[in-house]
């Protein structure tokens, strides 16, 4: 289990900005080499580029150059040549135990010339992790907006013992941030109101285009992201701290932004998609589903709980009682089964389907758990 401790640091701009720029060029040189040679082998890259780059960038420490090489080739390996990762002049630098040391609150960083020493001021919130966990690496970042350096220290600890408990399904959507299978609703009306307000203000300021409007846009930048981040933290904390729940089942929404509703059909017909489809695609593109998922995952991990994923197909159309699947079972937020007459909230029905589908498909679920959570399962009927 890993945690990151972030703290501001005062570093000489001319030295570290120059270092970041050179490391970005070294990173991009390794990316170009990997694409040209169709490989991400570190030994081959070292033989072909190390001596040349040492001559070209003599002020960059040798260990840091190797760290940048590893970072570049790992990025190519992660993307499998499907896209080309690039670093900008102020992109973050990854440090390891060869390029930095941490003794108590004293941190030393490799740089152009001599190492830089500084004393860290750790917030009280991070002190337990900082003092008791094992330090394993760090990243140095620079914010052009605030012109401030940040050190992200990474600490590692053993995973807590896994606890035993119930299984809870969670349905995520636009009108409700989360709906749990036991009937808890987390409304997103405040989020949608805030997003609309920021969108309206941005459009008005961009249309105006004056110097004062641009200053206002700069001051507004990041506020909406911070608001969304705070909301996701609050909701994920409430979900993770629920007693008697050991496994959280989420829908796999990994491709939600790549699927554009109605666009392929409109292109085939040679027409534009309806206005409501464009609005829906915009909502889906601005919603922080993945961020909420990550927050819940690491909060649950710290408590000995797990987050798993389940195929989301037909969870909104299937009746949780008789398992009958039909598109017309759901109308907006209402679910009314055409087969057995079961009526409930559509998101609540979906969350229970997510939970039951995981129990039935998981090899870890026992027959006893399945009979308790899905007492009426007798088979699926599709119409």
Predicted confidence at residue 259, as pLDDT, reads: 58
Is the pLDDT at 41 greater than 70? The verdict is yes
What percent of the chain is predicted at pLDDT more than 90?
Answer: 64
SS3 content of the chain, % helix, strand, coil (to 5): 45, 20, 35
Decide: 324 and 337 in contact? Cβ < 8 Å: yes
175 occurs within a structural domain: yes
161 occurs within a structural domain: no
User: Domain boundary at 109, 135, 156, which?
Assistant: 156
Q: Let me know whether 110 and 237 are in one domain.
A: no
User: Domain boundary at 125, 156, 187, which?
Assistant: 156
Q: Let me know whether 175 and 129 are in one domain.
A: no
Tally of domains within the chain:
2
Q: Let me know whether 203 and 326 are in one domain.
A: yes
* Domain carrying residue 177: 166-382
Distance CA 157, CA 129 (A): 9
Q: Let me know whether 310 and 178 are in one domain.
A: yes
Is the pLDDT at 276 greater than 80? The verdict is no
Nearest Cα neighbor of 18 from 97, 86, 113, 139 is 113
Give buried/exposed letters for 19-29 (b at 16+ CB in 10 A, else e): bbebbbbbbbb
Q: Let me know whether 347 and 226 are in one domain.
A: yes
Q: What confidence tens digit (pLDDT) does each residue in 341-352 have?
A: 999 999 999 999
Decide: 106 and 119 in contact? Cβ < 8 Å: yes
Distance CA 74, CA 41 (A): 9
Q: Let me know whether 120 and 217 are in one domain.
A: no
Burial (CB count <10 Å: 0-12, 13-18, 19+), residue 342: middle
Q: Let me know whether 294 and 353 are in one domain.
A: yes
197 occurs within a structural domain: yes
Q: Let me know whether 211 and 352 are in one domain.
A: yes
Q: What confidence tens digit (pLDDT) does each residue in 156-165 have?
A: 999 888 899 9
Q: Let me know whether 117 and 207 are in one domain.
A: no
Spacing of C-alpha 376 from chain mean position: 36
User: Domain boundary at 136, 156, 176, which?
Assistant: 156
Q: Let me know whether 195 and 309 are in one domain.
A: yes
Mean of pLDDT values over 80-104: 91
Predicted confidence at residue 286, as pLDDT, reads: 59
Q: Let me know whether 198 and 269 are in one domain.
A: yes
Q: Let me know whether 131 and 170 are in one domain.
A: no
């Amino acid at each position: 289990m890993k945690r990151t401790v972030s703290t501001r640091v005062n570093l000489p701009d001319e030295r570290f900005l120059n270092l970041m720029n050179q490391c970005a060029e070294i990173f991009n040189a390794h990316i170009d080499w990997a694409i040209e040679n169709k490989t991400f082998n570190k030994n081959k890259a070292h033989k072909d580029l190390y001596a040349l780059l040492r001559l070209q960038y003599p002020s960059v420490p040798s260990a840091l150059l190797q760290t940048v090489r590893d970072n570049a080739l790992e990025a190519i390996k992660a993307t499998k040549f499907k896209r080309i990762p690039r670093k900008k002049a102020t992109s973050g630098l990854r440090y390891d135990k060869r390029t930095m040391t941490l003794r108590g609150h004293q941190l030393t960083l490799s740089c152009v010339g001599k190492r830089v020493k500084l004393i860290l001021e750790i917030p009280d919130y991070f002190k337990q992790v900082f003092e008791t966990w094992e330090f394993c690496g760090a990243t140095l970042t620079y914010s052009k907006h605030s012109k401030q350096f940040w050190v992200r220290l990474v600490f590692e600890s053993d995973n807590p013992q896994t606890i035993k408990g119930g299984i809870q399904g969670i349905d995520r959507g636009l009108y409700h941030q989360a709906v749990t299978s036991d009937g808890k609703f987390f409304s997103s009306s405040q989020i949608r109101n805030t997003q609309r307000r920021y969108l309206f203000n941005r459009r008005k300021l961009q249309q105006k285009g004056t110097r004062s409007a641009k200053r206002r846009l700069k001051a507004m930048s990041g506020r909406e992201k911070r608001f969304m981040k705070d909301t996701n933290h609050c909701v994920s904390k409430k979900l993770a701290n629920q007693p008697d729940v050991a496994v959280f089942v989420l829908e796999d929404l990994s491709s939600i932004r790549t699927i554009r509703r109605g666009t392929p059909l409109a292109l085939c017909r040679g027409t534009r998609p309806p206005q409501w489809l464009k609005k829906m695609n915009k909502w889906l593109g601005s919603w922080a589903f993945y961020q909420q998922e990550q927050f819940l995952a690491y909060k649950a991990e710290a408590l000995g709980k797990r987050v798993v994923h389940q195929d989301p197909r037909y969870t909104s159309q299937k009746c949780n009682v008789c398992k009958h699947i039909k598109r017309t079972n759901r109308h907006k937020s209402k679910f009314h089964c055409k087969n057995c007459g079961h009526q409930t909230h559509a998101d609540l029905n979906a969350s229970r389907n997510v939970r039951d589908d995981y129990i039935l498909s998981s090899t870890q679920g026992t027959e006893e758990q399945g009979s308790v959570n899905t007492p009426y399962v007798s088979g699926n009927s599709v119409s």
